[in-house]
Every structure is written in structure tokens, then in C-alpha cells.
Structure 1
Amino acid sequence: MTTPPEPAPSERARTPRDVRRWRGHLADERAEAAAYRDLARRRTGEEREILLALAEAERRHEQHWLDLLGDDAGAPLRGDWRTRSLGWLARRFGGVFVLALAQRAEARSEYDDDVDATAAMAADERIHEEVVRGLATRGRNRMSGTFRAAVFGANDGLVSNLALVLGIGATGASTTTVLLSGVTGLLAGALSMGAGEYVSVRSQRELLEASSPSPLASAALPDLDVEANELALVYRARGMSAPDAEAHAAEVLATYTSATEIAPALTAEETETHGTAWGAAWSSFCFFASGAIIPVLPYLLGLEGMTAVLTSALLVGIALLVTGATVGLLSGTPPVSRALRQLAIGWGAAAVTYALGLVFDVTVT
């Protein structure tokens, strides 16, 4: 037996519960449209147009609920606290962090299960999520290198120095010894991170520069034997097929000027992406140190014994939750699960070293 379709809202008696729900949807749509307009004010060009188009779509959804409510629309309500928070952040910041929150807000749409929302509205919300995801991805790509270094460096400092401090503290070492070990671990780790990043970036740039064509080769172009066209071998060596290489080489020789290059050198985008070796080294040093100082703070403040251990673990736990939640928000994934994952990994590593310290319980004076 076929189940009869749900009657349209206009075909059934509205209940106070329906009115409350519709007014809630109306408030959320208004808040989301305002958030997109606020974000658009901080953008130019295509991104601004996209955000304004999203705001217009939310206005259409707003009109749907106004039509249903009629005289019951009443005074405007406040939207869901998460939607209001999104609007507050959009008015004051407007970066990729806010776009990531907007992406999650679109993913929470209840229209798929709401009999009073149209199929088109539910489809709109799903597409809106993908639109915002695309805008957020642009920002994530721009900040991916710096963000990776920040999260990796700070998290490494938090976990490694907490493990060091707790491991040595568990052996029965004096507070002074634990403090000196923590400071030494901070400096050693930060210097190691900085040196490693310097070598990594410098080596990468040297590899890219080694792949750029020599100016001497470009200067030799006017004297090439056009019939032999050995320039085609250059392009074949760089991955072109033989016919494409022959055609491209002939085009280069036919349009040669004093500014012609065999192949483009290192682009400005590549230079910006990899940055300077010293800048990367200094950033890594600072990121690691900012995390590694936290486990040492209780000892710097004069705490001792188990009080210092628990305070250090608590402070690091809070920092791990914050970094994990931030990663979750920026990546468009659940922040709570990412925060708890970060906490479990950090505390797990520290617990292992603390247990080893208890095994080798040797009082140091």
C-alpha cells in the first residue's frame, strides 16, 4: 500500500510548534544572509560576487518562511547561537576561519528532514556547503605551508617537552633539574626545528633553481641550426612528446627576441610558496618554543612535585585541545573529535615517558 504524501503546510492546520520552528528557520536564514554580506564586504572581485549570491539565496529561503508564517511572523527572533557567532566573527574577521565555520553551518542544514522545506531549499543548502568549501579551500591553500609549520611546530614542542619534563620528574629528580631539563629541551628542540627547516627550504630552493634553464642557453638561440632544431631535444628532455617538442621549438625560434628564454625560470608564486630559508627557520624556532614553554611554566612559577606535574599536564592538555579544535574547524571536520584526538596523542606520549621515569626511579640531588 502506498503511503500518502505529507500535506503541504497550506493544506493542514498549523500548530504553535510549527510556527516556532518556522520562525527559528527564518531567524537562521536572516543571520546567515547577513553573515555572507559581512564576509562579502571584506572581499573583492569574484569571491565578493559569490558571497553576495549566497546571501541572495538565503534571502529566497527567508521569503519561503515569511510566506508560510504570514501574520505569525511576529518580531524577528535571534538565530541559533552558532549562526549568531558566525555573524559576529564575519563582521570582525572574515578570514578562512570564518569560511570554515560557514561550511560547517551549511552542513548542519535540517531541511532534508523538514516537511515544510522544499526539495529545492534542501538542495540549495547542500550546494552552498560545496560553494563555501571551495572558497575556504582557496584560503587553506594560501596558508597551508605556514599553518602546517605552526601546528607541527607547536604540537611537537608541547608533546616532546611535556614528555621530557614528566619523564625526568617521575625519576625523583629535583625541581631544579626538571626545570633545567625542560629549558634545555626547549632550546634544543627549537634549534633543531629551525635548523631542519632552514636546510629543508634551502635545499628545495636549490633543487628548483637547478631545474631552471641557464641564461647562456637562451643566449645561444640565435646561432642554432634551424634545420637541425636541437632546441626540440630540450623540450623532449623536459617531458614533451617529440611532435609537441618540435612544434614548440620551431615557434620559439620563429618568434625569438632578446628577451626570449628557453623555459621559464623560477616563478614568483614558487618563490613565495617556499619563502626564505631564514624566515622558515625563525618561524619553526618560534612555533616550537611557544609550545615547549608551556610544560615548563609550572616549574618556572615555583611549583614542585606532583602539583607541578599535574599543572603541566593540564596546561598542555588545554593547549592540545585548542590546536586540535583549530585544525578541525579550519579543515571543516568536527572540532571536538580532532581536539580529543590531539589530546589523546599528546597525553599518551607523556604517559609513556612518565611510566618509564617511575621505573627508573632514581633520586637526583
Structure 2
Amino acid sequence: MMAAEHGWAVKSSRTSASGGVSSEMLLEDHQEKHFTASDVVRDVIIGVSDGLTVPFALAAGLSGANVPSYIILTAGLAEVAAGAISMGLGGYLAAKSEADHYMRELKREQEEIIAVPDNEAVEIAEILAKYGLEPHEYGPVVNSLRKNPQAWLEFMMKFELGLEKPDPKRALQSALTIAVSYMVGGVVPLLPYVFIPTAMKAMFASIGVTLAALLFFGYAKGRFTGDRPLLSAIQTAFIGAVASAAAYAMAKAVQAS
């Protein structure tokens, strides 16, 4: 199975005896792996991190108010359902807005290529000059792109505007990924309330289970994103602990008043 099927892009190259790169040698020798599934990872991080933190804080706050476990569980599950829908919808709208923005810019750039091709050609030259190419080097590139309107358009979208063509299925995939991730994360802090009827005892068990999940998730997040895994684990667990402690303290303060 190719590495690209797992979200990894593979580049291979080999220099020939003449100093150039032979096309027959492209799939030999040196290979570089680049992680390309960043959008999916980002959605999972958003969903799981919020799913672990928000229901955890809610359950801790209700436990501080001496509410029975079954009420905390009911409220927690309701929050998980509502949160998953809300987060999923937010992900859908964000991805849809990104796709709409790309299409608007694509149409505008296409119109400019037709209406003022010389100006757009100058922009190509300016872009290539920023990479250190001299006029005699980028001139043939500009002429080649002018003969291929589709390649010209794609070049301008990527290198002038910095926009990548979004996957047409991205909005729905983002919504489902965030929603499912939120539900998976949200169930973790609520599990102790299923088996422990006393809210305070369930809360302490929930703290242990959730902090362990936050540490694991933070570590995994660090591994995927290239950050320091241990630092990422500590930061993620710290944020969850602060959120739950704040909710618990607020519930105690309201109860005392």
C-alpha cells in the first residue's frame, strides 16, 4: 500500500552522473515523507480536546453542587450531544466558507487573466524573481504559463494568493470528524458516573480517568503535529484541570451563597 494512502506524500530523487535529475531515477534511493492529513488531524484535535474538557468541567461543577450521579450523567450526555452538533456545524460552516472564498478568488483571478493578461504575466515574473530567478530564467516559464491558461490560473492561486483548492467533500468530512471526535472525548469523563452512584466518588474517578486521557491525547497530538509530545501532554492536561477546577469552584461558590 502506498504511503500517500495513509496521508503521507513521498518524494524521491536521484542525481545522475551529469548532475541532473533523471526521470527514471525519481522513484529510487532518497525518499522524504511529509504528513499531508493536517486538516483531519486538526479536526480531531478540536473535537477530542473540547469533548474531554467541557463535559469534564460540567460534571465537576455539578458534583460540587452535590447533585446525584444519574443527574450529572443525564446532563453530561445532553451536553455531549448538543456540543457535538454545535461543534460539527461550526466545522462545516468554516470549511464551507473556506471553499466559497476559494471559488470567489478563482473567478476573480480567471477574469483578470482574460482581461489584463500582461499585468498577470508581470505578477508571475515578480513571484519567480522573489525566489532568486533571473529574467532569462523565468522568462520561458512565464511564456509557457501564458500558453496554458489552466496551469496559469492554478499557479496564481497558489503562489500569488497562497490558496490551495479545497476538497469538495471537506465541509461534510470536517463536520463529521469534529462531531464524532467530540462524542468520543465527551464520553470519557462521564463513564465513572455510570458505575459510581455517589457523585463525589465518581468525580474523583472522573478526574483520574480524564487526566489520563488528556495526557495520552496530548502526547499523541504532539507526535502528530511535530511538537514536543511530553510538553503537549502536560499542557493539554493542565488546561483540562484548570477548566474543571474553575467549574467546581464556581458551583461551590453558588451553593455557599
Q: Same fold per TM (> 0.5)?
A: yes
Partner Cα separation in structure 2 for residue 254 and residue 190 of structure 1: 48
Native 8 Å contact 1:190 1:285 kept in 2:
yes
| Residue-by-residue CA offset, 1:209-235 (whole Å, 9 max, x unaligned) | 1111379959x96xx8xxxxx432455
Match of 1:290 among 184, 193, 211: 184
User: Aligned equivalents of 1:320 and 1:181: distance in 2?
Assistant: 21
Residue identity opposite 1:297 in structure 2: L
Contact kept? 2:67, 2:199, Cα under 8 Å: no
**CA–CA separation in structure 1 for the residues paired with 2:231 and 2:80:** 28
* Structure-2 separation of matches of 1:345 and 1:260: 47
Q: Which of 264, 270, 284 is residue 154 of structure 2 equivalent to?
A: 264
1:210 aligns with 2:104: yes
Answer yes or no: is 1:164 the counterpart of 2:58: yes
Amino acid at match of 2:51: G
Q: Deviations over 1:95-119 (max 9, x none)?
A: xxxxxxxxxxxxxxxxxxxxxxxxx
Name the TM-score, length of structure 2 as normaliser: 0.69
How far, CA to CA, are the matches of 1:303 and 1:192 in structure 2?
30
Tell me the CA shift for residue 309 of structure 1.
0.4
The equivalent of 1:300 in structure 2 is: 194
- Contact 1:153–1:193 (Cα < 8 Å) also in 2: yes
Aligned equivalents of 2:103, 2:212: Cα separation in 1: 43
Match of 2:80 among 179, 182, 186: 186
Alpha-carbon distance between aligned partners in 2 of 1:302 and 1:239, rounded to the nearest angstrom: 69
2:209 match = 315
AA partner of residue 152 (structure 1): I
Q: Quick check: 1:213–1:264 contact (8 Å CA) kept in 2? A: no
Native 8 Å contact 2:66 2:200 kept in 1: no
Q: Distance in 2 between matches of 1:278 and 1:196?
A: 11
Identity of matched residues, %: 21
Alignment of 1:269-284 (within 5 A): 270-271=164-165, 275-284=169-178
Q: Which moved more, 1:207-216 or 1:347-356?
A: 207-216
Name 2:41's counterpart in structure 1. 147
Partner amino acid for 1:231?
P
Give me the whole-angstrom Cα distance separating, in 2, the residues matched to 1:161 and 1:293: 8
Rg larger for: 1
Which residue pairs with 2:30 in the alignment? 50
| Per-residue Cα deviation, 1:62-97 (whole angstroms, up to 9, x for no partner) | xxxxxxxxxxxxxxxxxxxxxxxxxxxxxxxxxxxx
Q: Where does residue 337 of structure 1 map in the other structure?
A: 231
d(CA) in 2 for partners of 1:181 and 1:284?
21
Amino acid at match of 2:117: L
Pick aligned residue for 2:249 from 355, 358, 364: 355
The 3 A distance-change label for structure 1 pair 254 and 298 is closer
Aligned residue identity for 1:208: Y
Please tell me the residue identity of whatever aligns with 2:171. Answer: A
What SS does the aligned partner of 2:244 have? helix
Distance in 1, matches of 2:146 and 2:216, equals 60
> What code does the residue aligned with 2:66 have?
G
Structure 1: runs of 5 or more not aligned: 1-42, 52-134, 225-229
Rounded to whole Å, the distance in 2 between the matches of 1:296 and 1:261 is 53
Distance of 1:305 and 1:211 partners within structure 2: 54
| Richer in strand (by share) | 2
**Cα deviations across residues 231-278 of structure 1 (Å, max 9, x unaligned)?**
32455689959xx9xx89x9489848xx768623978x9345685211
In the other structure, the counterpart of 1:232 is 118
Q: 1:262 to 1:45 in 2, by over 3 A?
A: closer
Tell me the SS of whatever aligns to 2:255. coil
Alpha-carbon distance change, 260 to 158 in structure 1, aligned in 2, over 3 angstroms: closer
Shift of 1:149: 1.7
Instruction: Return the structure number with greater relative CO, CA threshold 8 A, min gap 6.
Output: 2
